[in-house]
């Protein structure tokens, strides 16, 4: 059911050809989608308004559709914040298990990923 909803959401976003528009999706301020000519980015926020997930879509080489390219996940802690990067594997239709991650001091980097301004 979740996969079908996600596929339907992506299909609707792809049909909407907007040159760099920012749109609210799902619950207010819990998700944000930015669609540009050659890419799309989806942001998901936590209860404090910080980005906890960013998925990047790029134009497919074979079609005009955008397909997943990479994802960033953020784990916020009390002393450290961790950024996890995973590249999309189109052969497996999943993000790679072999992720890269980096840890940041929570005081110096209270937010790791900044979301675009909403219009």
Q: Is residue 111 part of a domain?
A: no
Residue 3 — φ and ψ, nearest 5°?
Answer: -65, -40
User: What is the structure's pLDDT at 82?
Assistant: 96
Range of the domain at 84: 2-105
Q: What is the pLDDT of residues 75-105, one digit of tens each?
A: 999 999 999 999 998 888 888 878 899 999 9
- The 10 Å Cβ neighbour count of residue 86 is 19
User: What is the structure's pLDDT at 51?
Assistant: 94
User: Considering Cα of 58, then 62, then 64, then 66, what sign does the dihedral take?
Assistant: negative
Higher pLDDT, 79 or 63: 79
Count up the domains in the chain and report the number.
Answer: 1
Residue 35, pLDDT > 90, answer: no
Residue 6, pLDDT > 70, answer: no
User: What is the structure's pLDDT at 3?
Assistant: 44
- Interatomic CA distance for residues 101 and 96, integer angstroms: 13
Q: Is residue 110 part of a domain?
A: no
């Amino acid at each position: 059911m979740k996969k079908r909803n996600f596929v339907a959401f992506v299909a609707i976003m792809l049909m909407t050809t907007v040159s760099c528009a920012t749109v609210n999706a799902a619950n207010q301020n819990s998700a944000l989608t930015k669609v540009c000519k050659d890419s799309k980015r989806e942001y998901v926020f936590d209860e404090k308004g910080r980005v906890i997930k960013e998925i990047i879509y790029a134009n497919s080489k074979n079609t005009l559709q955008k397909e997943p390219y990479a994802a960033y996940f953020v784990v916020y802690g009390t002393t450290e914040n961790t950024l996890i990067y995973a590249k999309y594997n189109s052969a497996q239709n999943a993000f790679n298990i072999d992720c890269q991650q980096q840890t940041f001091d929570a005081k110096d980097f209270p937010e790791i990923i900044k979301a675009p301004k909403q219009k």
